[in-house]
């Protein structure tokens, strides 16, 4: 699952006829966020979230649910399309977490939320057409996004996402993952012989790596960190190959396996 975070704030809170309060949040906009990424607002897929529209605290499903979204849709706000939520907090006396968060939101102590989603189409902004206003030197564009959850958080990331923020626990990491992977792909496809030799060294070393814990690792992996580690290993391999005149395929001396 890919996740991402964006900064936001609660727009306003209205008291309902039954005495409860409904708070409207902006969860996502098409603004360039602090990681230079953009989330496309026209391709949101909301069915899965609408089937279970719970509001979490800090993206922790182990903690009590603090509310529910009674409405979520992409609609215009301040001249731009935004993913917006109308949230009813559970401030019943048997839910102290819900009471506390509802009060903090009403009084302005908390104003950020974060959305978690899977993006089925992540592209580098640099690869966009020149006439696309979203084109940029850095960051990625997230498209075809399936919304999974909304959390109240202390610190959000998209400077236009008011009292709402998008992302899960590792939201910012997903964008970093995409950028790192895009950079690696460009390196591999460049045809540089040194890069090719480094990649071959990693391939030759792969069978020697312990894979007993492969399944748990795949289920709970910080992909960005793994990719960065792989880059570091490839750099070591390149140095090792450049310094070693003997280029046979014996991997006993590969430095990062020692």
**pTM (predicted TM-score):** 0.57
pLDDT value, residue 153: 84
Point out which residues pair with 236 in neighbouring strands.
none
CB of 84 closer than 8 Å to CB of 25:
yes
pLDDT digits (tens, 9 = 90+) for 186-209: 667 677 776 777 766 666 655 544
More confident call, 84 vs 10: 84
Q: Which of 95, 113, 93 is nearest to 23 (CA)?
A: 113
pLDDT digits (tens, 9 = 90+) for 79-138: 889 999 999 999 999 999 999 999 998 888 888 888 888 899 999 999 999 999 999 999
Number of other CB atoms surrounding residue 44 within 10 Å: 22
Indicate whether 257 pLDDT > 50: no
pLDDT digits (tens, 9 = 90+) for 162-177: 443 333 333 445 555 6
CB of 22 closer than 8 Å to CB of 182:
no
pLDDT value, residue 193: 74
Q: How far apart are CA 240 and CA 190, in angstroms?
A: 21
More confident call, 128 vs 216: 128
Indicate whether 247 pLDDT > 60: no
pLDDT value, residue 166: 32
Q: How far apart are CA 138 and CA 181, in angstroms?
A: 13
pLDDT value, residue 138: 92
Q: Which of 67, 22, 40 is nearest to 166 (CA)?
A: 40
More confident call, 92 vs 242: 92
Give me the phi and psi of 241, to 5 degrees please. Answer: -70, -40
Exposure class string for 227-250: b at 16+ Cβ within 10 A, else e: beeeeebbebbbebbeeeeeeeee
pLDDT value, residue 55: 94
Domain ranges of the chain: 10-170, 190-257
| 241 secondary structure, DSSP code | H
Indicate whether 70 pLDDT > 70: yes
pLDDT value, residue 74: 95
User: Mean of the per-residue pLDDT values for the chain?
Assistant: 74
pLDDT digits (tens, 9 = 90+) for 33-66: 878 899 999 999 999 999 999 999 888 888 999 9
Number of other CB atoms surrounding residue 63 within 10 Å: 12
Tell me what the mean pLDDT of segment 73-81 comes to. Answer: 89
More confident call, 232 vs 73: 73
CB of 70 closer than 8 Å to CB of 145:
no
């Amino acid at each position: 699952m890919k996740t991402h975070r964006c900064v936001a704030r609660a727009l306003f809170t209205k008291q309902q006829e039954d005495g409860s309060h409904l708070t409207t949040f902006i969860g996502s906009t098409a603004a360039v966020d602090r990681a230079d990424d953009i989330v496309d607002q026209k391709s949101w897929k909301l069915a899965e979230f609408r089937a279970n529209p719970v509001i979490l605290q800090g993206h922790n499903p182990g903690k009590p649910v603090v509310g529910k979204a009674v409405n979520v849709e992409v609609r215009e706000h301040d001249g731009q399309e935004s993913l917006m939520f109308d949230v009813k907090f559970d401030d019943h006396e048997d839910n102290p977490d819900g009471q506390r968060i509802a009060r903090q939101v009403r009084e302005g102590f908390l104003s950020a939320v974060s959305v978690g989603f899977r993006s089925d189409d992540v592209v580098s902004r640099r690869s966009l057409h020149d006439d696309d206003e979203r084109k940029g030197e850095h960051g990625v564009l997230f498209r075809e996004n399936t919304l999974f959850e909304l959390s109240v958080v202390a610190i959000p990331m998209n400077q236009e996402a008011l009292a709402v923020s998008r992302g899960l626990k590792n939201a910012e990491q997903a964008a970093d993952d995409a950028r790192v992977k895009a950079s690696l792909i460009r390196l591999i496809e460049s045809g540089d012989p040194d890069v090719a030799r480094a990649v071959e060294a990693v391939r030759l070393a792969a069978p020697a790596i312990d894979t007993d814990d492969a399944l748990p690792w795949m289920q709970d992996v910080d992909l960005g960190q793994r990719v960065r580690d792989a880059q570091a290993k490839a750099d070591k391999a390149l140095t090792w190959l450049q310094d070693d005149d003997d280029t046979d395929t014996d991997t006993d001396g590969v430095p990062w396996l020692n």
